[in-house]
Amino acid sequence: MVYGSPVTSAPASTFNVYDRYKQSEREFLNFCSYNYLGYSYHPEVVRAVQDTLARYGTGAVSAPLLSGYYDLAQQLEEQIARFKKKGEPLFFLPAMVPTWVFFPACSNRAI
């Protein structure tokens, strides 16, 4: 059974899973991955991820409200706005930010 078992290879059309009961790896057909186009291990995508990690590190060190947000997020917002032909969208990443915005907007009161 694959469910809950450690995957030991890239999620291609097949992938390897460590079978705890047999103490060995087994190959399975992959019908459960979002990687059906193979982008997760495509060399160009891997290079782009490596370049981005080298520049930005592994993630934000604080909420955007406190420390700003990445220029990549701003570029994404602008591209989505152009694509949708709408004003700039707002992305709320931390869980508290929607609360800080939504409830005051509903009640016409600031927190």
Instruction: Count CB atoms within 10 A of the CB of residue 15.
Output: 19
What residues have CB less than 8 Å from 111, skipping those under 6 apart? Answer: 100, 103, 104
The string of pLDDT tens digits covering residues 50-78 is: 999 999 888 776 666 677 778 888 888 88
Is pLDDT of 20 > 70? yes
Average per-residue pLDDT for the chain: 79
C-alpha to C-alpha distance for 64 and 80, rounded to whole angstroms: 19
